[in-house]
Chains A and B, each alone.
Chain A
Amino acid sequence: MSMIIKLSFRNIYRNKRRTILTLSTISFTVLASIVFLSWMKGIMDNWIDNSIRFAYGHVKIAHKEYIKKERILPLEFSVKNLSRVMVEIKNDKEVTIIRQRIKFGAQLEFQGKTSDCLGMAVNTAAEKRSSRIQKTIIRGNYWNDDQSGTRQGILIGITTAKELGVDVNDDVTVLARTADFSPYLLVYKIRGIFKTGMVSLDKGLFYINLADASDLLNMKDSANEILIMLKDKNKAVEFAVKIAKQLNDAGLDGNLKVIPWQEQGGMGNLIEIMKVMMGIFILIIGIVAGLTILNTMMMSVFERTHEIGMIRALGMKRIKILTMIISESITIGIIGGLIGGLSGSALAYFFFEKVGVDYSKVMESAQGWYMDPIMKGDFEPYQFVIGFLAGVFLTVISALYPAYRASKMKPVKALRVI
């Protein structure tokens, strides 16, 4: 056996230029796959993560009419009996954070200038733990834990702040409609201004705390969205089914719907499409690279026809010839896989993950998408393993046919070939 390995090593060394070409094909393919995988993973995860943090939660509970008409934010379709719903979910061991929110349409007014906004009344403590909003505050500050009472001020996005010409500590008027449709207004002090870089958030969004919402909107013990964060986001679907049943059994409002993040905003569908597209990309690259490797392996087999005839004549068995060629391909595959794997990992990690690519110009028009403007890849060691194994696998697959041909050669005929 060791002789065969030695033989295959020598064969690899014999035609250096060809080996280098084969190696470069394999390693480039591996490099490209690793960079591609980590880049796509980074972008997708960022998008999923942001969407979950800011808009969807892992699981969302809301009134079914509210879900249909979310854009007009109908307050009449809210989750009533909030405290009873909370009792049902609070003690589940999968749950980490529960964020009760009231989203409402409102108009901000400052010295005659107005801006139509989405108001977000939040449980400030829960929101702090799961959305990153408090980290994006560039002026002023977030609520402290003891500021959960009423009239604790308002947080607004940078773009809206500029449009209205307001700064921290200015008083803005918030005009809204209460749950029973009467127009109402309250004056709030601006406690902070946030800048996320995402158009969907920086423009037309403000936060107040939940206690203030009962003040402004006359909504007590209710919320129109409950976002639940879980320990494991992959368990969202089964968790949603379980909670839906539990709420039903408890005799709560039958109009409530429990929706996992995959079913919100078409996320699950889009993820599937992306996966299919990535699969097709990798497949095409794999086929073309496989053909190239197949060609080199064929050449290296056929140019040795004479030799193979010789060793067959000397009594080497077919299976050993097969093993020899295949171990040759494994060796090349491993070397190519390592070179491509290491350089691909380095590129993915040091450039695409650490530096990233600035898409802020493009993201200007990406209203409704929660993506950081500087996109970054996400390199994980498993991508190296996948790339490496794919490289070796591809090389071996491409070597099967030449190896088979070599093992089928008739010694007499092969010897006759010069």
Chain B
Amino acid sequence: MGMMFKLALRNVFRNRRRSLITFSAVMIGILSFIIMEGITESLQNQSIRMLKKVETAHLKVYAKGYWDERNKEPLKYRIADYAKIKNIIENKDGVAGTAGRINFQVRLYKSRNEMPCTGTAIDINGGDKKVFNLADSIVKGKFLASGENALLGTGIADLFDAKPGSWITIEFRDKNGVYDAIQAQVSGIVDTGNPVIDDNVVFLPMELAQERLDMKNEVTEIAVLLKSERKIERFKKELEKELNNLPGTSQRFEVLSWSEQAADFLAFMRADSQGNYIIVYILVVIIIAGIMNTMLMAVYERVREIGTLMALGMRKSQIKRMFLIEGAIIGGIGAFAGMFLGLLFMLQFSSKGINIASMYEGTNVMYLVKDYIYGSIRFTPFLLSFLIGVGVALIASYIPARSAAKLKPVQALRRY
């Protein structure tokens, strides 16, 4: 094996120019894969992280039926005994925090302007800060206090010229369908980077909302943050089972993990990555043709040598292996070069980041990123690059290697 490797290595370096060109092709392919993967991954990863922090948490518990009609934000499906249910969930193993919320349809008025929005009541004393990072997204003013005050997203605030201290009117229907309105003072403006929130949501303190919606001790959802995400599916099943078998209540619940809540968004992400990877597939095909070509040439110009090796007693399988190793070396070196350049890119990308917002100025980006995205250097794409590089080279060298092994020593030696 050692000798075979040495032979293959020598052969690779025998025709340096040819090998160099083949390396470069592999290198560019691997480099584009690493860059593409790095950017896509950081966009998606950052979006998902932000989604969990501002919208989905790890899990959400709803009253059964809510999820199917979530777009209408119905108050029909309520979690009845909020304090008790929250307590049950909070005392389970592995829970880092829980927070109840109420989502309901509102109309927002300020001076002559009005717009339909989503009202979200948050439990400021009951752990909303533990689950969501809304408080960290405040760009003006301060977080909600108890009493008649509200928090607005930047999008809404801009439209209504609202500043901390401005008065707004929030009109809604309570759980019985009765119209009501709250006059509230804007306490602060939040910029989460998630347009669903920044352009649509008015946050209100829970006690106020519960009182005016006639929903004492009731919420529409309880968000759950786990200590570790690893056992999320099992936890979800257990929790659902436990909640649906509580004694003394006929209420039924449904529990949705973040990936179920964000299914549409995840589907979009998958489609987008598929689109990005097409270029990698195309490159792989071209590189296979390139390596195959190089290897065919290598076999072709060494027919006499192969004959000699065979006449000296080298077996067919060894010849084949020799050429496969040669191909793998070409692919491997190309992959290493690509990985090295890729690493340089990723180092830069992870320390300096890329300003996505300025790139997409004024356009409707689907990803939930605020301004800069940063790469993270992970082992998997590099391992994958190496495997792709070598794998592609092996596939491409298989036919030339087989044809080398098929040569008959006598005939091969007769070639000049």
| Contacts from A to B (Cβ < 8 Å) | 15, 17-18, 21-22, 24-25, 28-29, 32, 36, 69, 71-72, 74, 76, 105, 107, 112, 116, 163, 177, 181, 265-267, 269-270, 273, 281, 284-285, 287-289, 291-292, 294-296, 298-299, 303, 359, 361-362, 364-366, 368-369, 418
Residue on B nearest A405 in the bound complex, by CB: B17
Q: CB < 8 Å: which of A295, A303, A366 contacts B301?
A: A303
Contacts of B372 in A (CB 8 A): none
Evaluate contact between B294 and A288: CB separation under 8 angstroms.
no
Contacts A295-B294, A359-B271; is A76 near B112 (CB within 8 Å)? Answer: yes
Evaluate contact between A18 and B296: CB separation under 8 angstroms.
yes
Contacts of A25 in B (CB 8 A): 286, 289-290, 293
Evaluate contact between B160 and A292: CB separation under 8 angstroms.
no
Query: B145 contacts the other chain (Cβ, under 8 Å)?
Result: no
Contacts of B160 in A (CB 8 A): 72
Q: CB < 8 Å: which of A15, A17, A21, A71 contacts B115?
A: A71
Evaluate contact between B364 and A418: CB separation under 8 angstroms.
no
Evaluate contact between B268 and A366: CB separation under 8 angstroms.
yes
Residue on A nearest B287 in the bound complex, by CB: A288
- Of B6-14, B25-33, B85-93, B250-258, the segment with at least 4 beta carbons within 8 Å of chain A is B25-33
Q: Which of B264-293 contact A (CB under 8 A)?
A: 264-265, 267-268, 270-271, 278-279, 282-283, 285-287, 289-290, 292-293
CA distance A209 to B226 in the complex (A): 53
CA distance A270 to B286 in the complex (A): 30
Contacts of B267 in A (CB 8 A): 361-362, 364-365
Query: Interface size bucket, B side?
Result: 35 or more
Evaluate contact between B362 and A29: CB separation under 8 angstroms.
no
Residue on B nearest A116 in the bound complex, by CB: B116
Evaluate contact between B113 and A292: CB separation under 8 angstroms.
no
Q: CB < 8 Å: which of B282, B293, B296, B363 contacts A292?
A: B293
Q: CB < 8 Å: which of B72, B155, B159 contacts A163?
A: B72
Contacts A24-B289, A285-B279, A292-B287; is A105 near B72 (CB within 8 Å)? Answer: no
CA distance A90 to B384 in the complex (A): 62
| 5 pairs of A and B residues whose beta carbons are closest in the complex | A266-B363, A292-B290, A365-B264, A266-B362, A116-B116
Q: CB < 8 Å: which of A273, A295, A303 contacts B22?
A: A295
Contacts of A289 in B (CB 8 A): 286
Evaluate contact between B116 and A105: CB separation under 8 angstroms.
yes
Evaluate contact between B279 and A281: CB separation under 8 angstroms.
yes
CA distance A116 to B286 in the complex (A): 53
Evaluate contact between B114 and A105: CB separation under 8 angstroms.
yes
Query: B379 contacts the other chain (Cβ, under 8 Å)?
Result: no
Contacts A269-B362, A295-B22, A295-B293; is A28 near B286 (CB within 8 Å)? Answer: yes
| Contacts from B to A (Cβ < 8 Å) | 17-18, 21-22, 24-25, 28-29, 32, 72, 105, 107, 112-116, 155, 159-160, 177, 199, 264-265, 267-268, 270-271, 278-279, 282-283, 285-287, 289-290, 292-294, 296-297, 300-301, 359-364, 366, 416
| A17-B296, A292-B287, A366-B268 given; 6 more Cβ-contact pairs under 8 Å | A25-B289, A285-B279, A298-B17, A298-B18, A364-B264, A365-B265
Residue on A nearest B29 in the bound complex, by CB: A288
Residue on B nearest A293 in the bound complex, by CB: B290
Evaluate contact between A69 and B113: CB separation under 8 angstroms.
yes
Task: Quote the shortest CB–CB distance from A308 to chain B (angstroms).
Answer: 16
Contacts of A287 in B (CB 8 A): 28
CA distance A303 to B296 in the complex (A): 13
CA distance A394 to B294 in the complex (A): 19
Task: Quote the shortest CB–CB distance from B284 to chain A (angstroms).
Answer: 10
A sample of 6 cross-chain residue pairs with beta-carbon separation below 8 angstroms, ordered by A number, consists of A25-B286, A177-B114, A292-B287, A362-B264, A365-B268, A366-B366
Residue on A nearest B105 in the bound complex, by CB: A116
Residue on A nearest B196 in the bound complex, by CB: A367
CA distance A295 to B301 in the complex (A): 15
CA distance A76 to B268 in the complex (A): 38
Contacts of B177 in A (CB 8 A): 112
Q: CB < 8 Å: which of B18, B28, B285, B363 contacts A284?
A: B28
